[in-house]
Amino acid sequence: MILGLDISTSITGVSILDRNGDLIYCKAWRTDKKGLSFYQKLDILKENICYIKSQYPVEKVYVEEPLKMFMAGRSSAQVVSLIQRFNGATCWILKEIFDMEPIYINASTARKKNGIKIRRGEKAKKKVLQHILSSEKTFIVEYTKRGNVIKGTYDRADSLVIAKAGYYLFEEEKHNKELNNEAH
């Protein structure tokens, strides 16, 4: 099974694919409650990761690579630092619980592996969600009274894109090993 995560200090999207690449778990773990400290948020993620470990035989863990640079008007050095620290701490928890190092996947690479093309000026989150809704029948979306998607939906969609990209990479790796074994 493949575990894919889109880690954030406020909402972490989590998806699990079975051996056939079918979606069997897709949640948004919320840590955006006011007053939670950095470590309390990590405790929430750790508790949920332990639950995943107890329920699913995860073979590989894939994580969206964290933001590395400033984005005009959207991030400061403080925000980038916080995201990096939180992502690193979460990956350490994943490594300790699953006894394997998580594999980082760049968001652009993950989208490309899923056949998602984002043109300049398009909103990536909306485009990803459109793709997921058209290709993944078991992905459920709930809407607010005003017709907006509920919090966590984009995070779940992003985690599914990471999980599917991880699945494709895992399958390619297995195929290459089989070819190498046949050659020897």
| Segment 51-84, tens digit of pLDDT | 999 999 999 999 998 765 445 555 577 777 888 8
| Segment 108-167, tens digit of pLDDT | 889 999 889 888 888 888 888 989 998 888 998 999 999 999 999 999 999 999 999 999
Residue 157: which CATH number? 3.30.420.10
* Domain of 107, in residue numbers: 2-183
Number of structural domains in the chain: 1
Give the closest residue to 26 by CA, choosing from 59, 56, 65.
56
Give the contacts of 57 (CB within 8 A, at least 6 positions apart).
1
| Segment 151-170, tens digit of pLDDT | 999 999 999 999 999 999 99
Q: In which band, very low, low, confident or very high, does the pLDDT at 177 lie, cut at 50, 70 and 90?
A: confident
